[in-house]
Amino acid sequence: MAAPLYRSHHPRSNFRSYFISLQSPRTPSMTNGAVDPPDPFMVLVDAFIPIIDEVSALIVENGGPSHPPFWGHIPFPPSVSPKERAAAQQRAVAEGLLRYRRELEWPAEDILRERRASNPSAVRKLVAFGGWEAALYLAILDGIEPHLEIPHPPGVASLVLSVSAGARDTFNQFPSGASIAGADHNIIAMYAGPYRPTFPPPGFYLVYDSLANSLAAVLPLPPSSASQFTHRGVGAGTAVLRHDPPSEYVLAELLYHRTSSTQATLFTWCSSGAVAGQWINKEVVLPFPLPSDPAYIFCADVVFALGDNSICWVDLLKGILICDKVMDDPKFRFISLPKGYSRSWHPEQGRGRPRDFSSMCSVRGDTVRFVHMNPASDIDDLITLTTWTLCISNSVWKKGGSFRIIDVWADPTYEELKLPKKVPRCPILSLLDEEDGVVYLTVAENNCQYVFSVDVERRMVVSGNRLPPEGRQFSRIMAVEVTMHLNKRRSRTGGEHLVPLK
């Protein structure tokens, strides 16, 4: 008998963040003549971003192949030389591709172009820089439509990019697609393509604002300022700091100097202001080496904003690297993990996968939460989930609740999903004040993934959910607190049809 999709025995399973914002959105209130934004809510989202080729989708919708057919081997008489055979084969492939484009892709592109003309995108497309690059990126943005697909909690949402027109040719160069690089409230930054700091393009940044319903392009770091020969990454991804709500933000990349773990360069990109539309780099000094472990090499697993002027890079084996006054005069300081949780690692042995058993996030201004699955022994039954809270202003950790994994297995919600007693992975802390102590866990079984929300303080499972079997295996799940824009327009539709390629 198949496991049920969803089980909950806890009144908090239908949490306010989902039902108020999605099922029964409140009527917008008026403040000084302006409409207040809707309430924020939290979603779990996969860091991998699927790319939907609208041209191929339209062809398939009408019975055609999504890719040019393979014409196979062409028979040749023995008298034809290998060189002539190769040339003839190349001509046949080129003619087949041209036929596919002429009979299917070009008509599909015409249909999509007419749809965009009659039903323009509701998403604002933005660039904050000028020159020839602005026109190039605006043409790419015109062919991108972001969609945040949100399931019933605690399911995993997906940020999907539908591409057509100029964006289609661009993303066809990116087999790796796109991924979420970082987020802060309604601001979600993405790596488009294989680009990463210190690695050269192709690729760039995209920034989606779920409240303003806008999509902005951000240039990659200038190769002349940062390359694999001059810098190396600190880890994690891009820091996103929403410094002036609701929609003004800063992107930040922190890179070690190639030959140093103390000297680094902080790159920032502002969405507005006197320095908007360009990467500003500042040389900074990091508080390393650590007096307690001089040989330790800090490697960030998580990065998040703290308040409206600070950023935290977190090494889940060691502690928090905090940058205050990011936009003005950046200063760095370090706070260790709670006593007994700090660990060392040797470069030759690797760090393992710290995110499999711990995580960290910020809540309520200068407060940070930390969760750790600590094996008390080699026996899985004794593994314990423990939460901690840190007040940044006094650097004092306060221990929260603990919940044994064996008690998770004994909970009715877990039992009714008919799962074996497997140790969960990748704990994710809730970002909501009203869910203090709630942690999300994932369990994989028989090519299926399950997500559980656990109230560590009350020592009970809040809810459990089997992710749809037709869905993909999620690469990296993260929590994002978003605010959706009002009056979202429906996606483009049309009834045009194509004649399949014979």
Asked which of 218-227, 298-307, 345-354, 387-396 is least confident by mean pLDDT, the reply is 345-354
Q: State whether residue 401 is helix, strand or coil.
A: strand
Question: Which pLDDT belongs to residue 376?
Answer: 53
Question: Which pLDDT belongs to residue 182?
Answer: 96
Question: Which pLDDT belongs to residue 379?
Answer: 61
CB count in 10 Å sphere of residue 473 = 11
Question: Which pLDDT belongs to residue 470?
Answer: 55
- How far apart (Å, rounded) are the C-alpha atoms in residues 266 and 258? 14
Span 134-149, average pLDDT: 93
- How far apart (Å, rounded) are the C-alpha atoms in residues 168 and 479? 29
Question: Which pLDDT belongs to residue 128?
Answer: 86
443 CA to centre of own chain: 20
Compute the mean pLDDT over every residue in the chain, rounded to the nearest whole number.
Answer: 84
- How far apart (Å, rounded) are the C-alpha atoms in residues 240 and 252? 7
Question: Which pLDDT belongs to residue 77?
Answer: 75
Question: Which pLDDT belongs to residue 471?
Answer: 53
Give strand pairing partners of 303: 313
pLDDT at 489 over 90: no
Query: For a pLDDT cut of 90, what percent of the chain falls above it?
Result: 52
Question: Per DSSP, which regions of 381-459 are E strands?
Answer: 383-391, 396-404, 425-429, 438-445, 448-455
Confidence of residue 143 (pLDDT cuts 50, 70, 90): very high
Question: Which pLDDT belongs to residue 15?
Answer: 33
Q: Which position has the higher pLDDT, 482 or 251?
A: 251
Span 78-96, average pLDDT: 83
Domains, the chain, with CATH or none:
6-24+37-46+121-482 (2.120.10)
Confidence of residue 5 (pLDDT cuts 50, 70, 90): very low
Give strand pairing partners of 265: 255, 283
CB count in 10 Å sphere of residue 255 = 21
- How far apart (Å, rounded) are the C-alpha atoms in residues 155 and 18? 11
Q: State whether residue 339 is helix, strand or coil.
A: coil
pLDDT tens, 188-229?
999 998 889 988 778 999 999 999 999 999 999 998 999 999
Residues 6+ apart with CB under 8 A from 119: 492, 493
Span 395-403, average pLDDT: 94
Q: State whether residue 325 is helix, strand or coil.
A: coil
Confidence of residue 32 (pLDDT cuts 50, 70, 90): very low
Burial of 407 (0-12, 13-18, 19+ CB in 10 A): middle
Q: Which position has the higher pLDDT, 239 or 30?
A: 239
Question: Which pLDDT belongs to residue 173?
Answer: 83
pLDDT at 367 over 50: yes
Q: Name the nearest CA neighbour of 311 among 260, 213, 236.
A: 236
Question: Which pLDDT belongs to residue 86?
Answer: 84
- How far apart (Å, rounded) are the C-alpha atoms in residues 137 and 195? 16
Q: State whether residue 158 is helix, strand or coil.
A: strand
Q: Which position has the higher pLDDT, 375 or 407?
A: 407
pLDDT tens, 288-328?
998 888 888 899 999 999 988 999 999 999 999 999 999 88
